Amino acid sequence: MRLVIVSCPPHEADTLLSTLLDERHVGCGNIVPGVRSRYWWQGRICVDEEALLLMETEAARVPALLERVRALHSYEVPKVLVVPVEATLPAYAGWLRSVLG
C-alpha cells in the first residue's frame, strides 16, 4: 500500500480526486481544505491557499497514477509524494485491494 499526498488549488481538489477514484488509480481519498503553503518558486517565496489530497493506492498503480496526476494538475510542477505504508489493519488492506481490482 502507498499513501499519495498531492497539494492543489482548492477548486481542483474535488475533480482531481473524483477522476482518480473513477479511473481506479486510488481506492480512497481525503480532501484537507484550508492548507496554507509557503514555498520557493522562480527565485522567490510564495504563499498560497491550497487543498491537500491524501489518497491510498497499491504500489503497482503508482506509475500510472503519477502520469494521470501530471496530466490533470494545473501546476507546472505539482507536489506529489508517494509514501510506503508500513502497517495497516489487514481488513483495510483487503478492502483496498478489492476496490482497486
What the chain holds in terms of domains, given with CATH numbers, is 2-100 (3.30.70.120)
Q: Which pLDDT score is estimated for 58?
A: 97
Write the pLDDT tens digit of every residue in 24-74.
999 999 999 999 999 999 999 999 999 999 999 999 999 999 999 999 999
Model confidence, pTM = 0.95
Spacing of C-alpha 89 from chain mean position = 21
Instruction: For residue 45, give Cα distances in angstroms to 14, 21, 60, 71.
Output: 27, 33, 35, 26
Q: What letter would DSSP give residue 77?
A: S
| Phi, psi for 64 (deg, rounded to 5) | -65, -40
